[in-house]
Chain A
Amino acid sequence: MSNPRLSLGPNLFYWSRDDIFDFYAEVAEMPVEIVYLGETVCSKRRSLRTEDWFDLADRLSSAGKEVVLSTLSLLEAESEMLTLRRLCENDRFMVEANDMGAVQLLIKQGVPFATGPTVNIYNPATLQVLANKGLKRWVMPIELSKETLAEMQTKRPEGVETEIFAFGRMPLTLSARCFTARSHNLPKDDCQYKCLDYPDGRLLSTQEKKPFLALNGIQTVSSLTCNLLSETTEMKRLDVDVLRISPQSQHTGRIVEAFHHALQDEPPPPLDRYVPLGTCDGYWHGSAGMESKR
């Protein structure tokens, strides 16, 4: 039985500078122990520069949080590699690699590192290879189930922590193209930062008007929110070390509170009214991700 900690994942969406600072000022007061910071989706999003992220990291660190810097998930341009190097060469904060390029740079630095859900760790052999190179914490890929987790945990290398994406709209895919810009009939190079208008992604529905996905620039996320609040006992049993809550524009504090209660075996309030649309938990139960089993 573990006693898992809570983390706040990197914000996947694009918010204004003021909104980001306001949000993290609140985060400083939230009962999360670990905060992941940084732009993981699109290098054109520059409401915060790299220096600003470092400042924010300092502030949250002073507030007692363990800060981890998250890297861009899809690296294409050399300019993105430069930013990546700056993050990986920082000597203060652990880095969450979201791409194998970041993993390589962190190995070369000889520093401990974490991997996010877009680094494909699907089996113990992969976990072992990366543990030998300095991996300290991994986020299980979004599509893997609790059965897979159970097997991974039995063969987990010494000193490696396991983190589960427990709440939030799920990052499902990445592209070179920007679908938010496309939905405004704009080319990516003149996107006019339309993502700012959709702080939780832009809804995509089927022709039957059923909500399906949410467009988040070059990333596509689920329209349903993954909610594993009812699974905290199971996660303790499976020796999960960290539960990740992915930020949303509203009510993140209430969600963190609910998980905090659940981890202390107090009955948490239901979260359905705090999500943009519905919730789902299919992946955890070994089904289609969009299904709800509980």
Chain B
Amino acid sequence: MELVCPAGNLPSLKAAVDNGADAVYIGLRNDTNARHFPGLNFNEKRATDGIAYARRKGVRVFLAINTYPRPDGWERWQAAVDTAASLGVDALICADIGVLDYASNRWPDLNLHLSVQASSTNYEALRFYHENFGIKRAVLPRVLSLSQVKNVVENSPVGIEVFGFGSLCVMVEGRCILSSYVTGESPNTCGACSPAKFVTYKETPQGMESRLGDVLTDRYGKNEQAGYPTICKGRFEVGDNTFYAIEEPTSLNTLELLPELQAAGIEAIKIEGRQRSPAYVAQVTRVWRQAIDACKQNPDRFSARAEWNHELDKVSEGATTTLGPYYRPWQ
């Protein structure tokens, strides 16, 4: 099982490489990738430096071009694919059919991975991308239970990568437009969910209020820490109740499922968080490297060590973690 770690900048890339990543994934400094945040990502010079650094330590570099170009932006996505090819990345992570078509025709030797943003949850979908564009690997959306993941792996024509840790999209990636419903910008079109420029916090007599655009996403009591106003993680009223109507702000942590993921034939574990700090990347990479190594050595006696979870909890959103959709015992 390969450990695939995020890097939003060169220090993070080095942190991932130095702490045991098998591969690092990055994006360019524009809306061609789904973490198009201010101050984040790589220009060509930085990407070249990063790839050289990773290569020296035997670590692979993937580049995400995983948003959906509209007609007026098409050339930008084409240029991004060309840039990735000339940089010599080890794989391109794509979602859009048009982009995959262009990349596979223009650069037939370039490895293509299917991004989580392609929203493919079943093996028939994966067969489409494999047969038409020769993808080598697919990242599954965070909506499947472990038994469903196993079923996909058994029937998939390509290797499967799953998310192991990080912020949790509770919606199926690539087909959620809550962000653009409120702001006009979505991960698909603009490369960011709930973009920061639409976010406001305001102290009021009712408490600290967080808004995305004009929409009040939450109110926080005196002893509560205000969270980022992602719509799916807000508190809303349904019926007579005010609660996290969609999802509690927790992080995904599948450390304890590692032996099962390994037995299922998962090819790679992905860590979320290109928008996070180099310290986060270092810490999470270190823990997961140790855990994967321990699991490989002796899967039968593997258990998630308390200190690992303690380290991960320190950097988790909401400071609590969940097994997410993987653990659904009734299925």
Contacts and interface: CB of A to CB of B under 8 A. Distances in A.
Nearest to B177: A143
Interface in A40-93: 73-78, 81, 84
A172 interface: yes
Contacts of B328: 176, 189
Given A122-B70, A123-B71, A174 B172 contact: yes
B246 A283 contact: no
Contacts of B122: 75-76, 81, 99, 101
A172 B177 contact: yes
B245 A174 contact: no
Contacts of A155: 71
B61 interface: no
B286 to A, nearest CB: 30
A143 B189 contact: yes
B120 interface: yes
A120 B174 contact: yes
B223 interface: no
B10 to A, nearest CB: 31
Contacts, number: 207
B182 interface: yes
Interface string A250-294: 000000000000000000000000000000001100111110000
Most chain A CB within a 10 A radius of its CB, from B122, B172, B178, B181: B181
B151 A78 contact: yes
A64 to B, nearest CB: 33
B125 A207 contact: no
Contacts of B95: 120
Nearest to A80: B122
A100 interface: yes
A123 B98 contact: yes
Interface residues of B, number: 68
Contact of A123 (B70, B236, B330): B70
A107 interface: yes
A1 B71 CA distance: 22
Contact of A74 (B74, B129, B172): B172
Interface string B59-85: 000000000111110100000000000
A contact residues, range: 35 or more
A158 B131 CA distance: 24
B246 to A, nearest CB: 6
A183 B97 contact: no
A102 B129 CA distance: 13
Interface stretch (A30-38, A208-216, A241-249): A208-216
A124 B99 CA distance: 11
B177 A173 contact: yes
Nearest to B325: A176
Contacts of B125: 75, 99-101, 103-104
A283 B178 CA distance: 12
B172 A173 contact: yes
Interface string B116-138: 00111111110111011000000
A144 to B, nearest CB: 7
B218 interface: yes
Interface in A109-167: 118, 120-126, 128-130, 141-144, 147-148, 151-152, 155
Given A77-B331, A183-B245, A206 B132 contact: no
A105 interface: yes
A204 B236 contact: yes
A209 B123 CA distance: 43
A206 B237 contact: yes
A99 B172 CA distance: 12
B134 to A, nearest CB: 14
B70 A144 contact: yes
A273 B315 CA distance: 50
Given A120-B188, A172-B178, A175-B170, A76 B143 contact: yes
B181 A290 contact: yes
Contact of B175 (A118, A123, A126, A282): A118
A182 B244 CA distance: 10
A213 B235 CA distance: 13
Interface of B: 68-72, 74, 95-99, 101-102, 118-125, 127-129, 131-132, 143-145, 148, 151, 170-172, 174-178, 180-184, 186, 188-189, 213, 215-219, 232, 235-239, 241-242, 245-247, 325, 328, 330-331
Give the 6 A-B CB pairs with smallest separation, nearest first.
Answer: A125-B98, A101-B124, A151-B71, A176-B143, A100-B125, A122-B68
